[in-house]
């Protein structure tokens, strides 16, 4: 199976490093410096137990398409805008797998002309150390679901699942993405503001109460999810990832733009359109945006 991966960030490196051990993987990056670094050194993945290095094909993003069985788009949702024109020029027969947080990109993805479209949600914790090195800080799984198209591609991907880097099939892509969204909303903004690891959200009574408020507000928007994901499940994730620092917190600590727009901003827009008022979510959104503003020099 030939797989192309777009994105030289933490998730792109993690995917390419693990999948490249058994499959023909081509990582597509933007910068010449990163391409040369990976060409010379491969991709290194550090875990708490060991380190592995994998040689993969690497090329820069150009106007040329890539002949692969599956193309994985592993950039953050706010980076999709710069790729839209290129993705839309890919031949409709090219299967695509999108791995983004949030649901803001979903309507655009469904409108693409491609015959086979898949989406996924990632439960791994990863931190990019350098252009060719990533720390695998939280081992989880990648859930994958199909919007439409050829199930053979999905079956082949699942057949290459390993104990170290597993893939799981979900039959309802909207439910899968909403479950991940509930988790992101209840963890990421709160850890980004308080600067604490995931586990402290459960240990601290005040943070716990904010999570409860956020959960209730999410159910206002998505009442059908009440029996799909509980507050207790999300808090269990906080416990199992006790020492992990969320991706949004790491972005704040690095003075980078966060995914607050794609995780919370789109929900506040939905709330406005449906005449709902979500005070807790609104305050967290403004606080994260304010921190971003200060980090960019005001």
Q: Residue 48 burial by CB count (10 A; 0-12/13-18/19+): exposed, middle or buried?
A: exposed
Task: With H, G, I as helix, E, B as strand and everything else as coil, classify residue 133.
Answer: strand
212 touches 162 (CB < 8 A): no
Tokens representing residue 86 in the block: 């290129």
CA–CA dist 284, 286 (Å, integer)? 6
CA–CA dist 93, 248 (Å, integer)? 35
Catalytic residue (choose from 180, 226, 250, 289): 180
Report residue 276: phi and psi, to 5°.
-105, 150
* Dihedral Cα 143, 146, 150, 152, nearest 10 deg: 20
Annotated active-site residue 256? The verdict is no
Distance set, CA 174 to CA 224, 227, 276 (Å): 11, 15, 21
Spatial CB neighbours of 129, under 8 Å, sequence gap ≥ 6: 46, 135
Residues with a catalytic annotation lie at 180
């Amino acid at each position: 199976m030939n797989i192309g991966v777009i994105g030289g960030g933490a998730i792109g490196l993690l995917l390419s490093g693990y999948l490249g051990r058994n499959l023909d993987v081509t990582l597509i990056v933007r910068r010449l410096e990163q391409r040369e670094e990976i060409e010379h050194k491969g991709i290194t993945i550090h875990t708490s137990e060991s380190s592995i290095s994998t040689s993969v094909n690497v090329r820069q993003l150009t106007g040329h398409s890539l002949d692969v069985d599956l193309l994985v788009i592993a950039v953050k949702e706010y980076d999709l805008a710069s790729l839209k024109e290129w993705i839309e020029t890919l031949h409709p027969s090219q299967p695509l797998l999108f791995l983004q947080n949030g649901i803001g990109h979903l309507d655009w993805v469904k409108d693409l002309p491609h015959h086979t479209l898949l989406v996924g949600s990632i439960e791994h914790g990863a931190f990019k150390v350098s252009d060719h090195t990533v720390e695998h800080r939280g081992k989880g799984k990648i859930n994958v679901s199909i919007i439409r198209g050829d199930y053979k591609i999905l079956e082949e991907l699942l057949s290459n699942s390993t104990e170290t880097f597993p893939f799981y099939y979900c039959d309802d892509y909207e439910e899968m993405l909403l479950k991940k969204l509930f988790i992101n909303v209840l963890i990421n903004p709160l850890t980004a503001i308080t600067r604490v690891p995931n586990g402290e959200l459960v240990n601290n009574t005040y943070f716990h109460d904010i999570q409860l408020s956020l959960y209730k507000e999410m159910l206002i928007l998505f009442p059908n999810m009440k029996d799909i994901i509980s507050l207790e499940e999300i808090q269990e994730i906080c416990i199992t990832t006790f020492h992990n620092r969320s991706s949004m917190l790491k972005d704040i600590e690095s003075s980078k733009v966060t995914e607050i727009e794609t995780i919370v901003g789109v929900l506040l827009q939905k709330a406005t359109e449906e005449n709902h008022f979500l005070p807790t979510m609104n305050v967290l959104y403004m606080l994260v945006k304010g921190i971003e503003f200060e980090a960019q020099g005001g």
